[in-house]
Chain A
């Protein structure tokens, strides 16, 4: 699914559940009458069926991601995480558990850290999302990114975007005043390679260097 420009459409078309059910019922009835195998029927009516279903299932969404306004259609059931990864191809935000248990998917929503797997994309109408791809200023890395490299705050690198987004927010929240406090307020971000002490050193370093909010 590619993002589409829907800027001329009215936001929030309300779709009644019954419409979709009726459609499916009729569609199923037709296929049942034909007594042909499901796969053949599907091949015949696939395009129309899918396009129609798809139009009914999607809602328009205006969302700012890394400073760029996106006008897209998205199914209400799509998580912010899958929206970023699969529709915007922003794969820097990682899926580690899909249940808010690991923190790999941490992004900033209006500056606050959020597990993107635990929120739906459509909940963020008009909001500003920052992902790891939007943290650096062009080629100039954010101090937290520099500090992670310097202190070797990762091994495999998979939890790293989430750790960094969380770390930036941790300082901005005022929760980085001691190493113990950093450990406590970073405990939602799991690193299985076990780079924790180096991550804590990196955050402390940035905090000492006076990161600006």
Chain B
């Protein structure tokens, strides 16, 4: 049996033609930024092993203005990625505790509340509170 593929063709810059497509691409980019931060956090552990001066140099580099403001932009992408993740949970896999699946906005609200709770728990359990 011969299998034919019919690849979807898109014009260049398709994601700039509609705000929804742009939001989607920014979300995808946010996902990639998560991996970048994974590597940065891994590097943080390596610098921690190398001692106080290595760790302080790493932290100072992160806090120089160009890197800091670049981090603000990347952080915004990570936040957008998190928020859209909470939006899609109720759409991709409708949660059915009731006769009808819960509306995605309800699931989104529950996830945001959970997110706030989990973030508070991280502050206290991982970073020892304020």
A binds B: no
Instruction: Mark A residues whose CB is within 8 Å of B.
Output: none
